[in-house]
């Protein structure tokens, strides 16, 4: 159940995500460094104030949000710690996948969606891997692990049978694709600011999935 406090934190998360997006356009680096992790912190506040939800799944989602907040901070810093930040995002996806398992999944649906995700990786994933192999060969193994984790998270989210969880997981995977595409294939309009809006929105949906599940 959403409490007044949870709604307040959700509004704060939206405002902070908007500030981070504007700061990306304006290149206000100190604001970016503060706003992006703060938006994730506000989502943690939302999760903490939810009532009548599965406590194990709630704890795992909060852990995922904290890992993602760390990744946001690392990518926002002037030196742009891409590998370390991406590792934090991978850890976050693992926590989200575990949360879906805690909510309960249909194994058949999981396998089916995982197969579909695998075919998707053979298309978009091949392009990204080709560029990474050419530009940053040291990231190839880590990228492969990330793709497996992201695809598994999508499959687990859909396999819960909850539309909110499934939609959040798919949207989060889209933000991962956009992040890789923007860095290694072609710069996107809005760059990191727009990508983080999608990622933060996806994780807000995942938090709300605790209520709908």
Q: Report pLDDT for 153.
A: 95
Is pLDDT larger for residue 171 or for residue 83? 171
Q: Report pLDDT for 179.
A: 86
Question: Do 86 and 72 meet the contact criterion of CB atoms below 8 Å apart?
Answer: no
Confidence tier at 207 by pLDDT (50, 70, 90): very high
Q: Is 104 left (phi over 0), alpha (psi -120 to 50) or beta?
A: left
Q: Report pLDDT for 136.
A: 87
Residue 26 in tokens: 């304006």
Which ranges constitute the DSSP H helices of the chain? Answer: 4-26, 29-48, 55-76, 82-103, 107-120, 126-135, 140-159, 163-184, 191-212
**Does the structure show a pLDDT above 90 at 189?**
no
Mean pLDDT, residues 54-68 taken together: 97
Confidence tier at 193 by pLDDT (50, 70, 90): confident
Q: Report pLDDT for 204.
A: 97
Q: What would the pLDDT profile of 5-21 be if each residue is shown by its tens digit?
A: 999 999 999 999 999 98
Q: What would the pLDDT profile of 90-131 be if each residue is shown by its tens digit?
A: 999 999 999 999 999 999 999 999 998 888 777 877 888 888
Q: What would the pLDDT profile of 85-98 be if each residue is shown by its tens digit?
A: 999 999 999 999 99
d(CA 34, CA 145): 29
Q: Report pLDDT for 206.
A: 97
Q: Report pLDDT for 190.
A: 63
Give me Rg for the CA atoms of the chain: 16
């Amino acid at each position: 159940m959403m409490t007044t406090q949870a709604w307040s934190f959700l509004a704060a998360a939206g405002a902070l995500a908007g500030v981070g997006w504007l700061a990306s356009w304006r290149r206000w680096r100190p604001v970016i460094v503060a706003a992006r992790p703060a938006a994730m912190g506000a989502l943690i506040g939302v999760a903490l104030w939810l009532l009548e939800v599965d406590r194990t799944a709630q704890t795992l989602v909060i852990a995922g949000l904290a890992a993602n907040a760390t990744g946001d901070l690392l990518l926002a810093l002037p030196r742009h710690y891409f590998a370390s930040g991406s590792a934090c995002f991978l850890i976050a996806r693992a926590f989200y996948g575990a949360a879906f398992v805690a909510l309960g999944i249909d194994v058949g649906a999981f396998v089916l969606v995982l197969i579909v995700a695998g075919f998707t990786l053979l298309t978009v994933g091949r392009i990204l891997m080709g560029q990474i192999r050419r530009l940053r060969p040291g990231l190839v193994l880590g990228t492969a692990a990330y793709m497996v984790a992201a695809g598994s998270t999508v499959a687990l989210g859909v396999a819960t049978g909850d539309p909110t969880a499934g939609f959040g997981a798919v949207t989060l995977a889209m933000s991962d694709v956009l992040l890789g595409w923007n860095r290694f294939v072609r710069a996107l309009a809005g760059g990191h600011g727009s990508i983080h809006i999608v990622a933060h929105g996806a994780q807000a949906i995942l938090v709300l999935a605790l209520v709908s599940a």
